[in-house]
Each structure stands twice: as C-alpha cells, then as structure tokens.
Structure 1
C-alpha cells in the first residue's frame, strides 16, 4: 500500500499546495521503490510499475489510455484536500477535466515507473531535476547531445511537448542509473502549468544544469556535487 505524507488540512496558498503535492509523490514513490528494490520484489509493486508505464500517455495526461483503474488510481489520485483553489481562495468546483495537480502527480508517477524499469537499485532520491540531467553530460562525448535535448526541454511551449522531451531524458537517466527527486519534479510540473510561473521552473532547471556541469568540466578535483 502507499504512504501519503500530506497534511490533513487544505493548503491555503498556491505554494502550500505545490509543496503538499511534492510530499505526496515523494512518499508514494519511496513506498513503491522500497517494495520493488528489495531482493524479492513484491508482486504488487511489479504489477503497479508495469501498469503505470502503460498509463503514460504521450501528452502527460491519461485521456484515452487503457489501464488497471484501481491500481493506477491508488498511486496517482489526488486527495480532495489538495484540489486547487481559485484566485479568491475558494475551493475549485469539480469538473470532468483533470486539474493541474492531478496531471502533475500522474505524470511524475508514470515517469518514475519508466525510470525504474529494469533497474534494481533506487532511482528516486534527493537529486533535483536539473542536477540529474546535468549528470548525463558527464560521460565522454555526451555533453553536446545532452545540451541539445536539455535546450529542447526548457524551451518547450506546451505541456505535451515538455513531457515528450522529459520522457526521453528520463529514459537516458535510467540507462545511466542516475537518480532524480520525484517529489521535486512533481512540484515543478505543477508550477510549470501556470504560465506566469513557467519561466521560474525553466530558470531553476537551467541554473542547476549549468552549476553541475561547470565544475565537472573545469576540474579533476573531486565530486562536483560538493
């Protein structure tokens, strides 16, 4: 079963909702990862990861995707207390359209399932997205290609385009065994969907990316993350 590390009280600010969503996904991924990365992975964890991978639609949502609704929803639903608020602080009225919170949580969980595929070591950890992507460039001959893909990611204009590029880079992280913080990623994906806040996410990813490439390029002096 999953562990939800959210407050029972409704966040009263947009930043509070973002942070609560980050904690929610952090706990769910940590729980799922613990079950899967043991010497004998539990059958429910293996099944959940497979179903989450199948639920990864190209546009980062879940419209028109065939899935095991119960298992996937157990890992991707958003509690009612985390539904977004309107601009005047009132509760958002429910509609048939997925909320930004639901899209961010589902996207992060399905990307984690892709990232963990065929890896038996934990790949969810305390590495921010921009830092994790910078580590792809540390391999010999990889920097030009990684920079090109990263540039496409941070200049993406729409959410489907963003997730297309992010999914490609997550597969590269998987192949190199590089971990990423899926709680942080959830908060970033939630924030990115608000046009007024999008550039802040791009700047954060770009700063982390450049700050963790530069020391590696100029040095042979030890761990560039320190």
Structure 2
C-alpha cells in the first residue's frame, strides 16, 4: 500500500474535540501526539483511582513495552490506536500509517511501564520532555557540573539518539523509562510519540535528534537560571546556599517541569526545526 508522505499540515481530518481546532491544520506528527495524549489522558486518571479495567489494561500494555506493534498481537486495537483511527478517519492518505501506529504503540506501552505500581501521580506530564527528564534524573542521582556530562544516564540518552533502527530505539527508551520509573520522574509521552513518528522518516530524523539534545542542554540552562533567581530572592544566611542549589537542581522544589525551553513546546510544528531537517 502506498502512503503519501506528510511533511506539513496538509492532511485534513474531521474537527477534533480538542479546543475545536480542525485536524486539517495539524501536521501528521501532531495527530500522532494528540492520539497518544488523548488515550493516556483517559486511562491515566482511571489507573490512579485503581479502576480495575484500567489496571488490567496497563498490565496488558506493559507486555508490549520495547517491542514493535506487530510483535504483540494481543494488543491490536489497544494503546491509543483506536484514538489514532478516529483522528485519521477518511484521511489516511495524508499520513504514513505504519509510522503512526508504531509511534503511538511504543509511546503508550512505555507509559504503561513507567506508570506501573504508581498511584501517587501520573507519569505522563506535558511539562517534561525526554532530554529534560534524563537531566533531572542525573541530578537526582547526585551528579553536578562536569559530572553530568560523564554520567552513564547521559550516555543512555546519546545511545537513543544514535540508534539506527526502531527496534534499537524501543529497547534503549525502555531502559531509560525503567530508570525514570524508579525515580518517579514523569515524561511527556504525547510529544515523544510525535517525535517517534518523525524519527522513522529519514529526512526528519536529524531534527528529532537535535530536539533531544536541545532538551537536555536547555534543561541545564533553565535550571541554572532558576537557581540564580532563587538565590537572588533569598536572604543570605551564609549557611544554606549549598542546600538551595541541590534542591533546585533535583527538581524537589517543583521547578523541574519548567526546566524546558518553551521554544520546544509541543504545539510548534517541528519543535523549532524545519520539516525534513
């Protein structure tokens, strides 16, 4: 089956329920992100409230974490693919269907793995992107300054960026998600799904790789700025400045969600990069 490529918002879809914006104004990867976000937004509150159906569904989804959509037949029609089909109804010629299905499936199953046994908070959080989440995790482990650049966690992110196949990306993301789960550090899975869709299209891959790198580095810059502001506004005691730095860097003060440059907000078509870059 031949699927016409989508690099801009040319594809048209029926009006969405998200703010009343018609889908024809959205590029393909945004529809993928929306399908993933809509699915998780529906299931996550049910899981947090211990609804039996949601608990069972996440248990099924976790079996697919790090795998390809065709490898887990038991999950066909589960994990956001129904939302994707609804958004693309009658407009499938404007999107690479296999890429879309793989991206939604991988992001949904990784979220289920991340959310496992956690009822205190949802692990899908639009405020935290992949690079920023890894940076936050490094700091939670106690690294600072030059130690962050040599961290094994940073090397794991680099391995995701340098992967040459979707199978490799899936396995390496699974490794990172398991570490994020242990630290209860959330991640924006809708944005990740959109990035995974673009990553599969070779001309867009460099742009996604740059986004992951920028997310990581801009998280450091934003966190440093937050520390400077906190120090400027706090009376000097001559004792607690070191503790103030550590609290801000680890995100315990609630600043971790803001440690992302808004130039990378998910409502930008290509996260600051041109299509095909």
TM-score w.r.t. length of structure 2: 0.66
Do structure 1's residue 34 and structure 2's residue 39 form an aligned pair? no
- Aligned positions, number: 208
* Alignment partner, residue 59 of structure 2: 50
The secondary structure found in structure 2 opposite 1:203 is helix
**Equivalent runs, 1:52-91 vs 2, <5 Å:** 52-56=61-65, 58=66, 60-67=67-74, 69=76, 72-73=77-78, 75-77=80-82, 78-79=84-85, 82=88, 91=93
CA distance in 2, matches of 1:83, 1:157: 31
CA distance in 2, matches of 1:74, 1:215: 33
TM-score w.r.t. length of structure 1: 0.79
CA distance in 1, matches of 2:210, 2:79: 33
Instruction: Give unmatched runs, 5+ long, in structure 2.
Output: 1-15, 228-244, 249-254, 260-277
Q: How far 1:68 moved relative to its partner?
A: 5.4
Moved more, 153-162 or 139-148: 139-148
CA distance in 2, matches of 1:145, 1:199: 23
Q: How far 1:185 moved relative to its partner?
A: 0.7
**RMSD of equivalent CA atoms:** 3.1
Could you say if the C-alpha distance between residues 182 and 74 of structure 1 is closer, same or farther in structure 2, counting changes exceeding 3 Å? closer
Could you say if the C-alpha distance between residues 145 and 216 of structure 1 is closer, same or farther in structure 2, counting changes exceeding 3 Å? farther
Q: How far 1:93 moved relative to its partner?
A: 10
User: Computing the radius of gyration over CA atoms, which structure comes out larger, 1 or 2?
Assistant: 2
**Equivalent runs, 1:3-152 vs 2, <5 Å:** 11=24, 16-38=27-49, 41-56=50-65, 58=66, 60-67=67-74, 69=76, 72-73=77-78, 75-77=80-82, 78-79=84-85, 82=88, 91=93, 99-120=98-119, 121-126=121-126, 127-138=128-139, 139-141=141-143, 143=148, 144-152=151-159
* Alignment partner, residue 6 of structure 2: none
Could you say if the C-alpha distance between residues 215 and 21 of structure 1 is closer, same or farther in structure 2, counting changes exceeding 3 Å? closer
8 A contact 1:11–1:82 mirrored in 2: no
* Alignment partner, residue 199 of structure 1: 206
